[in-house]
Amino acid sequence: MSNNKIIDILDSAVLHSAIIVVMVVLSYLNTLHVDFISVDDVSILDFLQTNEISLHSLFLGGGGDYFRPIPFLSFILDLQLFGRDPLAFHVMNAGLHLINALLVYLFALQTFKLSSLRKTAACVAALIFALHPVNSEAVLWMAGRTDLLCCTFFLLALLVGLNAQVDTIKATSAFFIMFLCSLLSKEASIATVLILPVYCQLNRSIISPERRYSLYGAMALAAGLYLAMRNGFHRGVDSGIGRIVGISAAKPFYHFVSESFAAFGFYIKKLLFPLPLNFAIVTINTNLYVVIGIIASITLLFLFWRIVSLRLSLLITVFGLAPPLLALHGKLPWTPFAERYLYLSSIGIALAVGICLSCCRSVRLRSLFFALVLTYACITISRVVLWTDSKAFWYDILQKSPEFPRSYVGVAIELIKEAKYDEAQRLLEKSLAMGYDTDFVWSNMAVICLARRDYAGYETAAVRAAQLSKQPTANYMALVYTITMNADKYADKVILYRRVAGYYLKAFERDPHYIDGLYNAAKSYLYVNENELAQKYFMQFLATPGETMYKPFAKRLLDSM
């Protein structure tokens, strides 16, 4: 190859990469103004800041419904470097999405057949992925980083695993690491277990047996290690997998099949025609999407059989939907259907669009592909703008999903910020009437009561929030702090501090690691001269194992009594 040709290729790759970067930056520029949203974002940050997190607990502590240590590690890093600045978190998400778009470009170059439009088609495929409106949710939602990191390692695993120019041992080793990291980011990449073997078997003539079986072994080892880590290296099955298996097995076969076809049809429709976009998709027209799912299945099978070049893209598209379908049957997610679940499958659709462009000979038809890219960009920009306005964002959800009780709480939070307490309380009561009896609702009800200086109502709501919370210590501490700071509003101080002591003890009961609750309860009893109870809890505090700075003080107080 001549130097001029090498320069032309490099220039072309640099130009395409620059186009991808510019388009992604322009489309997601308003991400800089997106705040944390009250679904998961705030609770994740609170969890990371109020609990002792270690590498051991993250990677070897076992998982419940979800096990995603790598994204949590990235959140901890963001917190250490930037604090609770939403700008840093969103820039990181957007940066990961940009990296994924560039990886799609490289993957397309590696897999597309040689043609005069190969590089341009790869660039269009990357842009379709980068600007596809269904992917905006994963980018704009801080908690969506799980999808972004999962995709990054998924693409790296396929890039190195299917690259014939890389030595088999090196390729297999790198594939093992990348696939394991992808699983540790989000369980969605378990789809690789379906994608890789089918693709390798269909391409036996170009993928050597040594490479195939090495990849299978690495894939099985990574999946096995992931499952062991997810279960905390204990016997049995973790709650997430257990729920999927148990609930799916209990369903009548007809319902299982019809729900699968309906969800599949819905997701395929979303990939091809993403509108309307909605953060909380609770229900779909089952009968309609069963028909669409059956038609889509027949069509995709026909394309898979007839067009060899589309096979890898179709495998990624279809098998990428397997994890969300399993989660749907196991009733794991808080929304049965979501656009962010399509992040991996959108790679397949993007590759399919690029392949179609590379085979297109008509200049007029080619222009339609570029028009699609611009259309997606406009829709995505509009979606990003909506996320910058929290109130408009939640009203949009409420309008599109009035059966979703969480949307009423989201709007209520925005109304609380505007001191519209009556309307906010009405919406919170509406969510409770819909069965959404959660600590999140009650903690906001407590905020309203406190703003009205209804201290009795505040205490009732805060206690209910603590009772329902998975991290009750923080709730009880906030309750104690608030009522002690407003102690002058309570007529009987003895009753007040007895209740305070009771809340400290309740916090210790719910969280045995919070042994300081015993010390604080004892001090509260001591404050109102109930020395016998104070002595009892000082002694229990000193006898309870655990390191704390208050034990010397407790011993001194106990001796003085």
Cβ-defined contacts of 322-328 (< 8 Å, 24+)? 322/190, 322/191, 322/194, 323/187, 323/188, 323/190, 323/191, 324/188, 324/263, 324/267, 325/260, 325/263, 325/264, 326/244, 326/248, 327/244, 328/259, 328/263
What residue type is assigned to position 116 of the chain? S
* Residues contacting 462, CB < 8 A, separation 6+: 442, 443, 446, 475, 478, 479, 482
Q: What is the pLDDT of residues 299-338, one digit of tens each?
A: 999 999 999 999 999 999 999 999 888 888 777 677 888 9
- What is the pLDDT at residue 485? 85
Contact 108, 126 (CB under 8 A): yes
Residue (of 77, 323, 83) closest to 187 by Cα position: 323
Residue 160 host element (H or E):
helix 145-161
Contact 31, 139 (CB under 8 A): yes
**CATH no. for 492-561:** 1.25.40
- What is the pLDDT at residue 241? 61
Contact 400, 278 (CB under 8 A): yes
- What is the pLDDT at residue 6? 47
- What is the pLDDT at residue 175? 96
Structural tokens at position 40: 């998961």
Helix runs in 231-273, H state only: 239-250, 253-272
Q: For the chain, what is the largest distance between any 2 Cα atoms, rounded to a whole number of angstroms?
A: 93
* 2 φ/ψ angles, rounded to the nearest 5 degrees: -75, 160
* Residues contacting 200, CB < 8 A, separation 6+: 207, 211, 212, 215, 216
Rounded-to-integer distance, Cα 218 and Cα 174, Å: 9
- What is the pLDDT at residue 239? 56
* Residues contacting 42, CB < 8 A, separation 6+: 36
- What is the pLDDT at residue 7? 44
**Which residues, given as ranges, of the chain have pLDDT below 50?**
1-3, 6-7, 10
The DSSP symbol for 40 reads T
Q: Please spell the DSSP secondary structure of 456-525, one letter per residue.
A: HHHHHHHHHHHHH-SSHHHHHHHHHHHHHHTGGG-S-HHHHHHHHHHHHHHHHHH-TT-THHHHHHHHHH
Between the two ends of the chain, the Cα-to-Cα distance in Å is 91
Domain limits, CATH 1.25.40, in the chain: 492-561
Region class of 438: left (phi > 0), else alpha (psi between -120 and 50), else beta? beta
